[in-house]
Structure 1
Amino acid sequence: MSDFLADLSILDVGLALGALAAVWAVVVRVARVGRKLSHVADDWLGEPERDGVPARPGVMERLAAIEQRVTVIEHEVRPNSGASLRDAVDRVERRIVGGDQ
């Protein structure tokens, strides 16, 4: 072991420290990217409820809720069996136009 240390130069030590610094920089960058990917996965999949924090639905669950709301809105803005908001507006319009003549 002492022969190994005796054969080391300052240049060798500097190169080793530089290599360790480069490896550390790569590890830090990979950890940052991994953390960001973890946040994306949490947003996509959602998070269960835990102490003091409400559950957060994932993207697919939120899309399903949006589709349900859009279906209700479409029902109201298109004429159908007379129960939609569009049908009510059409009835009022017919009364107003019919009353002006």
Structure 2
Amino acid sequence: MSDPTGAGRLDDILLWAGAVITLSAALGLLWRATRGARRLAQRVEDVVDDWTGVPDRPGVPGRPGVMTRLDKIEHRIAAVEHELHPNSGSSLRDAVDRVDQRTAHLDPP
């Protein structure tokens, strides 16, 4: 009963083929099961890259991180706010006030 097919060599080949198929199926299931985790890890990596920035690479320009971009935005907003409030006479608001005073003299109410 140790030789079910009557050919010892054939039994060995069938046993090894079954083992390879079973191992391949198990690896395929494992690969498929971990696909969600790999996708999540890639998304987390993308978020981290966006937050911290990416340096220049050959042929690809770098991207600044979130904090650097926020700093630029704050400086631009400060420059706009400077123009919207009266100061020593150099802001846009001062220029509008001067024009308003000049036109008030031309056409009194």
Please, what TM-score do these two structures have when normalized by structure 1? 0.77
- For 1:81 and 1:20, how far apart are their aligned partners in 2? 74
Deviations 1:38-63 (A, max 9, x none): 11111110000010111100000000
Counterpart of 1:97?
104
Corresponding position: 1:54 with 2:64: no
Deviations 1:55-89 (A, max 9, x none): 10000000000000001000001111111001000
Equivalenced residues, count: 89
Counterpart of 1:32?
39
2:81 counterpart (74, 81, 84): 74
Counterpart of 2:49?
42
Runs of 4+ in 1 over 6 A off after TM superposition: none
- RMSD of equivalent CA atoms: 2.1
Which has the larger helix fraction?
1
- For 1:98 and 1:22, how far apart are their aligned partners in 2? 85
Q: Structure 2: any 5+ residue segments left out of the alignment? A: 1-11, 16-21
Deviations 1:24-51 (A, max 9, x none): 3331000000001111111110000010
2:91 counterpart (80, 84, 99): 84
- For 1:49 and 1:35, how far apart are their aligned partners in 2? 20
| SS of aligned partner of 1:95 | helix
- For 2:29 and 2:51, how far apart are their aligned partners in 1? 33
Kindly name which structure, 1 or 2, has the bigger radius of gyration based on alpha carbons.
2
